[in-house]
Amino acid sequence: MSPSLDYERAREYTEALEGRLVDALDGDAGVSRRAVLGSLGLAGGAALMGTGGADGGHSGGESGHGNFGARGEFDEGFDAHEFLRTFNTGFDGQDNLTQEVFEEDGERVRYFELTAVDTTIEVAPGVEFEAWAYQGQVPGPTLRVTEGDRIRVKFTNGSRHAHTIHPHLKNLNPKMDGIPQNGPGVLEQGESFTYEWKAQPAGVHFYHCHSLPLKAHIHRGLYGSIIVDPDPERVREQPEEYCDFHESQITPELTEELVARAKSRNHEYDENDEVQELVMIMNGFDTNFDGGNEVYAANTRAFAYGVGETDGKGNWKPGETKRPIQIDGQKPVRVYLVNAIEFDLINSFHTHSQFFDYYDHGTTLLPTHQTVDTIMQCQAQRGIIELDYSDHEPGLYMFHAHQSEFAELGWMSFFEVV
């Protein structure tokens, strides 16, 4: 079987799922998840399993089941592919985020300015969602710092609703907790407050609005991630804090291994350049506000990492907004994974044809799970996934939520190993 045929089948598969989702949601704000899944069921096994023809086994691409073609590309706003690899470090990052780094009272300060706004985002081609968003995007900007830094965030509320920023960090000052009961409380429209947090512990962490009702403020899009890179020198001095060994069990060899791992995870060290790093925030959208999600995704846009038009040789149609995550098979992959789902108890991440190491919350430098192909996360849980495709043939490798309906409703993706 030729690689180009594999790509064509994957494109048909993506289009069949996406087309059904968009058809079910289009023009019917009251459609339920059950109705969407029922519509997907009509697509038939041949189309969804990629065993039919270019039109999913229906001549002319149309039948009583509707049109299998997707409704077109995403608009030119939020780019799910750019978001994957954009880390805001104070030194660099996205253009619309004010950020800088400076020294103050013997500490390094990473300064960011975040604004909450009411906006409309696109969660599937032509399917819009009324969001509340940090910096006008969902997820919010990824903030990346080094352990021990002081994180300073000037937050301005430009929304009609009262908001805060609550960090999942070890925060020693209750005034900075970003909840209605402490410090400045909730900020009304036009108000500002500057939060300060110590960057601790090392790991991948979550930030979100903590205004009531929580499920509304999180579900509407007010969340993002804070990555705290380990400080290799601190690891050398206190290696027991980065693994589950007792201090008496830690050898010089283990210490050096932990330091090397810390350098690999720290964006300020050359060793980090040898790893392909990605941010994925798993989320869902209740498009009719009935308390159940109709659309699921990694980084907001349903099927954004599915397969669009390609020549099957790693070259994608210009302007293609639906395409796999292309990776160099000779370099390891690190995924900073966060679950921001609302209305569902758990979410999951599953790889096809591959096993990985997992670091729950990213707070250890040795894996908490080894050689697994599926992990689960409850809301706000996060972790680091490390993959290695160096012994795999080039081509497409699927990954998705292993709640099957989540995959059918948008949370289905591919890595393209080249």
Mean pLDDT of 323-352: 97
State both tokens at 225.
């991630």
Least confident of 7-11, 216-220, 353-357: 7-11
User: pLDDT value at position 60?
Assistant: 36
pLDDT band at 61 (very low <50, low <70, confident <90, very high): very low
Across the chain, mean pLDDT equals: 90
**Are the C-beta atoms of residues 129 and 285 closer than 8 Å to each other?**
yes
User: Widest CA span of the chain, in angstroms?
Assistant: 71
Examine the pLDDT at 320 and tell me if it is beyond 60.
Answer: yes
pLDDT digits (tens, 9 = 90+) for 224-283: 999 999 999 999 999 999 999 888 899 999 999 999 999 999 999 999 999 999 999 999
Give the count of beta carbons closer than 10 Å to the beta carbon of residue 149.
21
- Report the predicted TM-score, pTM, of the whole model to 2 decimal places: 0.93
Phi and psi angles of residue 142, each rounded to the nearest 5 degrees, phi first: -85, 120
pLDDT band at 27 (very low <50, low <70, confident <90, very high): low
User: pLDDT value at position 247?
Assistant: 84
**CATH fold for domain 80-273:** Immunoglobulin-like (2.60.40)
Amino acid at 230: P
Examine the pLDDT at 52 and tell me if it is beyond 90.
Answer: no
If you search the block for the tokens 């040898």, which residue do you land on? 274
Helix 33-41 with 3-25: angle, nearest 10 deg: 140
pLDDT digits (tens, 9 = 90+) for 66-80: 333 445 689 888 999
**Strand runs labelled E in 75-221:** 99-104, 107-124, 127-134, 143-146, 150-157, 166-167, 192-198, 203-208
Helix (H) / strand (E) containing 337 = strand 333-339
User: pLDDT value at position 299?
Assistant: 98
**Strand runs labelled E in 352-394:** 356-360, 369-372, 374-378, 382-387
pLDDT digits (tens, 9 = 90+) for 182-241: 999 999 999 999 999 999 999 999 999 999 999 999 999 999 999 999 999 999 999 999
pLDDT band at 139 (very low <50, low <70, confident <90, very high): very high
What residue segments make up the domains of the chain, in order of their start?
80-273
Cα angle 247, 253, 254; round to 5: 45
pLDDT band at 41 (very low <50, low <70, confident <90, very high): low
| pLDDT > 70: percent of the chain | 90
Residue in 385, 325, 395 with CA at minimum distance from that of residue 355: 385
For 374-407, give one letter per residue: b (16+ CB within 10 A) or e.
ebebebebbbbbbbebeeeeebbbbbbbbbebbb
State both tokens at 117.
């706004």
Euclidean distance between CA atoms 310 and 10, whole angstroms: 11
User: pLDDT value at position 138?
Assistant: 98
Give the count of alpha carbons within 13 A of 242, CB side only: 28
pLDDT digits (tens, 9 = 90+) for 101-116: 999 999 999 999 999 9
